[in-house]
Structure 1
């Protein structure tokens, strides 16, 4: 006769681990700075050889590597460490997909301060930092452009491929272009495309460097200034709005997308890539949890559902709005048609 499993009694373990979760952040930061993952990829698999390669104490390396193994970033067989698949791809500096430099923005002092003051943000309903990360010419956005481009490179290539299935585009607006990789990827996959990149002047310097390095600078044009104020011009076939609207409340997003709508030619498209949670706002976890970052770092930003995007885009004048099937990186692609 089968017996049902006894219910597990409550335990403080999950609370304890949550309160100490900052340790995982610091462990990842230390491992990236010390090049632990790169060292292991090079064949240094014992604490002693990793320590020698990283110029660190063997005791410290062993404790750190054991901790990273506990959290699934490393594997361990006897005394030998190995890389988990995602660590091998994204945290080894020898990999073309390396994204370890993202700590320069994601762990920037201003971002961390916003989260350290989360109680104030919850009480006030917005960042305790005032304008937070949205201050004009904020140097953190230069850090973002330099640090986050590798993280966005693969999604940008996939997104460009999806959008070009709809036909050739000749004039492309890249809103809040940052590192420029989304517009650059369209230009790389379509030799007819002229890219017009909008962002703060100091940020566009990074985008132009990337356009130069990737061989499209002759088709890369800069629209420097506040994206809300700068004159975009018109007759665009395609407008790229990537990882931008989540910084603002819905009325601001609607007003901005009216401006984008006006800039497009009849039949033109706006392509929005962003975190898109389900209507329950708790799934999928990464997209849904992004709302907390917006609470900590912006006055009124949020992660919006597709239903919210569809409503605001139609209010902005778009005739049709589609959520494309594939997930692109950590985001979803929404295409709105004028």
Structure 2
């Protein structure tokens, strides 16, 4: 029997089973302020230890590990952040994403995967049949407070796809508004637009803060409650549905989209923003991998393909469904016309 062209290699196994160590190292670096401590110039472990007020041994091992993971570079004894690290993980950057760690590693998210075997076997999420879709789940307050910067790019991209008639008053509804980034980006396109945000009451306090900070305080109102059961109102020009439908099954999504259509004026648009994998469900990886997040944290959610969104929208009475990748982000907009 001939030997395989490439010898068996267990590297992927060890990298995957130990991936929690990478998460812990990155979180520690953000918590300690390592990425801020460079001040735009390379530094030794000793210099970083002084600035972070830590013993040098821990900082040296942490920085060597971050170099192996691709967050830092090392030249002789001096470390430096990569361009991506400086852009996204230095608190002085307007694109800082470090605060998102609080949500992404929250017990309501991370701990759900400890019971993934049970979830798959029993068909329900670990510890709760509702998971993160439970009413007033506290994880969504952290999401609203920390994830806005991560959604800035997709929000700007989605807003650029939709025109508002600036010659008259217009209405925009932001479903599951959270931080409000999507609704704010669209409402800012017209001084005669009014933004209505729907979410749980505690979350909407964050949305309102952000809307006021964006200059929309006098053009902002709220709908509190469950998007499936609360009255949405009517005569909207645009209804935004960002990162919401993936929490639910196709039948429920279709029923909800019928409700959205009834809330739109004739010719109004629904703008769905989601991770949309290709039909093979394994590409592109950044979108396809989101299905696993939904498996671990929701009872019936998934990452749906464009063909599935087309079918949902068609059955809900929408026409002209179109897919718009929001490059360079991993998300896409799916737009239908009422």
How big is the shift at 1:81?
Answer: 1.1
Which residue of 2 is the match for residue 140 of structure 1?
A: 139
How big is the shift at 1:155?
Answer: 2.1
Distance 1:199 1:326, change over 3 A: closer
Where 2:90 maps in the other structure, the secondary structure is: coil
Where 1:100 maps in the other structure, the secondary structure is: coil
Residue number among 31, 34, 37 corresponding to 2:32 in the alignment: 34
Determine whether 1:314 maps to 2:332: no
Contact 1:127 1:295 in 2 (8 A): yes
How big is the shift at 1:318?
Answer: 0.3
Distance 1:330 1:305, change over 3 A: same
Query: Distance in 2 between the 1:245 and 1:300 partners?
Result: 11
Query: Distance in 1 between the 2:248 and 2:79 partners?
Result: 44
How big is the shift at 1:167?
Answer: 5.2
Where 1:221 maps in the other structure, the secondary structure is: strand
Query: Distance in 1 between the 2:67 and 2:269 partners?
Result: 45
Contact 2:42 2:80 in 1 (8 A): no
Contact 1:44 1:50 in 2 (8 A): no
How big is the shift at 1:44?
Answer: 5.8
Contact 2:182 2:240 in 1 (8 A): yes
Matched residue count: 332
Determine whether 1:269 maps to 2:287: no
How big is the shift at 1:328?
Answer: 5.8
Q: Which moved more, 1:243-252 or 1:155-164?
A: 155-164
Query: Distance in 1 between the 2:56 and 2:260 partners?
Result: 56
Which residue of 1 is the match for residue 245 of structure 2?
A: 245
Residue number among 51, 70, 73 corresponding to 1:53 in the alignment: 51
Query: Distance in 2 between the 1:123 and 1:70 partners?
Result: 36
Contact 2:325 2:331 in 1 (8 A): no
Structure 1's unaligned 5+ residue stretches are 1-5
Query: Distance in 2 between the 1:146 and 1:236 partners?
Result: 27
Determine whether 1:233 maps to 2:245: no
Which residue of 2 is the match for residue 151 of structure 1?
A: 150
Which residue of 2 is the match for residue 3 of structure 1?
A: none
Contact 1:125 1:295 in 2 (8 A): no
Aligned residue runs from structure 1 range 191-230, under 5 A:
191-230=191-230
The alignment yields a C-alpha RMSD, in angstroms, of 1.5
Where 2:161 maps in the other structure, the secondary structure is: helix
Q: Which moved more, 1:119-128 or 1:40-49?
A: 40-49
How big is the shift at 1:116?
Answer: 1.0
The structure 1 segments of at least 4 consecutive aligned residues displaced by more than 4 Å after TM superposition are 166-169
Where 2:147 maps in the other structure, the secondary structure is: helix
Contact 1:41 1:83 in 2 (8 A): no
Which residue of 2 is the match for residue 67 of structure 1?
A: 65
Q: Which moved more, 1:14-23 or 1:243-252?
A: 14-23
Determine whether 1:161 maps to 2:155: no
Which residue of 1 is the match for residue 94 of structure 2?
A: 96
Structure 2's unaligned 5+ residue stretches are none
Contact 1:201 1:224 in 2 (8 A): yes
Query: Distance in 2 between the 1:300 and 1:328 partners?
Result: 29
Query: Distance in 2 between the 1:143 and 1:326 partners?
Result: 25
Which residue of 1 is the match for residue 9 of structure 2?
A: 11
Distance 1:330 1:41, change over 3 A: farther
Deviations 1:10-52 (A, max 9, x none): 0222211111111111111111111111112443621111111
How big is the shift at 1:126?
Answer: 3.5
How big is the shift at 1:182?
Answer: 0.8
Where 1:153 maps in the other structure, the secondary structure is: helix
Where 1:281 maps in the other structure, the secondary structure is: coil
Using the size of structure 1 for normalisation, the TM-score is: 0.95
Contact 1:313 1:321 in 2 (8 A): yes
How big is the shift at 1:200?
Answer: 0.5
